[in-house]
Amino acid sequence: MGTLRALRQLAKEHGTPLVVVDHEVLRRNYATFKRYLPRVQAYYAVKANPDPAIVKTLFDAGGSFDVASMPEFRIVYEYIKDMPAKQRQEWIWDKIIYANPIKANDTLQELDQYKALVTYDNEEEIRKIKKHAPNTGLALRLKVPNTGAMVELSSKCGAAPGEAVDLILAAHRAGLVVEGLSFHVGSQTTNFENFVQAINLAASVFEEAKARGYTKMNLLDIGGGFPAPYDASVKPFSELARKINAELDRLFPKDIEILAEPGRFMVATAATAISKIIGKAVRDGKLCYYVDDGVYNTFSGIIFDHCHYHMEAFRKGPRQICTVFGPTCDALDVISMSEELPADLERGDLLFSRNIGAYSVASATQFNGFPPAKVVHINQ
């Protein structure tokens, strides 16, 4: 991310609240993922931040894409719509996975024309796909342990391993082709054993399917959950990659294609939020700062993503524990109840928050009439 001087200059030029996205960081994160997981094709989880400029940078870097809605699909499709039809079809098959296991009928009908790869996890979805999208390829979503993940996902999606092969065979009997398996260990997973257990579960399902006569599976999608380095407690990505590579090499032949759905890992560290102090008060003996951004805007990840973002000041000075509030009149609009900041900041001074690229702007609202922050892109 840019220097503090550069960030202050951008805030002066564009005003606040402001989010600065550094595309050099995006490219670096993508390269890091590929370097440590050379066997794994990265399908960027567009939901983490669907900004078309971010998608374009990862597209140009060679990335693939995990989409979970048709609007997300269309963001990616914009960059391939002018390809010849055959090339466009091949690109969609190789580069996009529709990884939402539950899909509306009209969504399936639209996906069918692209012969897309989609996930499923139950018999009702098989019936829907058979009727509305028989030309799609399928990946069965497995339920796997999410222990230690910041955001747990297994209670909503995923077939139990014990019923997995029955669901594969049911899809096969319906005339559909199950290309492979997918799973998700939970968002921001710092418990690396989740990946180890999930890969082993998937290998067992592959073996059972083969033993029961189904031999058409040729891909494994190991999902997302790759943690962003929000603080020093997050172990290095290289350590996680070593564990994943060892299990993949031990359990899956080289002819099995390996996919992943990194979202947060790609984009979290690529953005910084800048806000302005609009009010200051002492309440119950505690210094409180009010800023022009909050949990209904860029800091929505506090509510929706179970994330905590640290605020920092551009100015130095004696520090004390403060509360930082957002601009709305809602008592829920609290960025931090315990932030160490200079005590002599005044109205008009700027604060900033690093590593705010994921699940922030993506879920911002205009509650109470406050518009989302302006987004500025650098190093495109």
- The DSSP annotation for 23-42 comes to HHHHHHHHHHHHHH-TTEEE
Q: For residue 150, how far is the Cα from the chain centroid?
A: 12
CB 115 within 8 A of CB 155: no
Q: What residue type is 22 in one-letter code?
A: D
Q: What residue type is 229 in one-letter code?
A: P
Query: What are residue 377's DSSP bridge partners?
Result: 21
Sheet strands (E) in the chain? 18-22, 40-45, 64-67, 96-98, 117-120, 137-142, 149-151, 177-183, 187-189, 219-221, 257-260, 271-283, 286-291, 312-313, 319-325, 334-342, 350-353, 374-378
SS3 (DSSP) at 66: strand
- The DSSP annotation for 186-240 comes to -EEE--THHHHHHHHHHHHHHHHHHHTT-----EEE--S-PPP-SSTTSPPHHHH
What Å distances lie between residue 354 and 52, 267, 275, 290, 311, CA to CA? 21, 12, 12, 18, 8
Active site residues: 329
